[in-house]
Amino acid sequence: MNQEVAPGVKIEGGIVSHIMIDVDISCFPKDLPAYIEVDLINLSIGDSIHLSEIKVPEGVELTGLSEENDQIITSISKPKVVVEEVITPEEAEGDEGAEGAEGAESKDGEDLAEDSSDKPKE
């Protein structure tokens, strides 16, 4: 809850990652919660919430939680930017002229294509 108003999202433009959406619990049927709420109100970019930080109702135990295993359940991270280069038609025409240089000749008519012989050029 509060992921839209968390400082890391609203102010810093971060993205919430829900790393864990299910959690194993142990309780009597009468204590079984319909859901477990996780409040993101104070999270900034780079912050995360661990399993140990979840408040569960009385009589409910998180079975996956131990001192050695305190998993991250959610975090806010900086979005990655992907830049796509757009080529205009004018730029595309300019590139086509550069591709034909393989069989080009110099000003005096000498072939500039790769010479496969081992003889020195005169």
Could you report the per-residue pLDDT of 42-88, keeping only the tens digit for each? Answer: 888 888 889 988 888 899 998 888 778 888 888 888 888 767 778 77
List of E strands, the chain: 15-18, 25-26, 48-50, 61-62, 72-77
Task: Give the pLDDT score at 23.
Answer: 86
CATH 3.40.50.10320 given to domain 7-77: no
The residue extents of the domains of the chain are: 7-77
Is the entire prediction scored with pTM above 0.75?
Answer: no
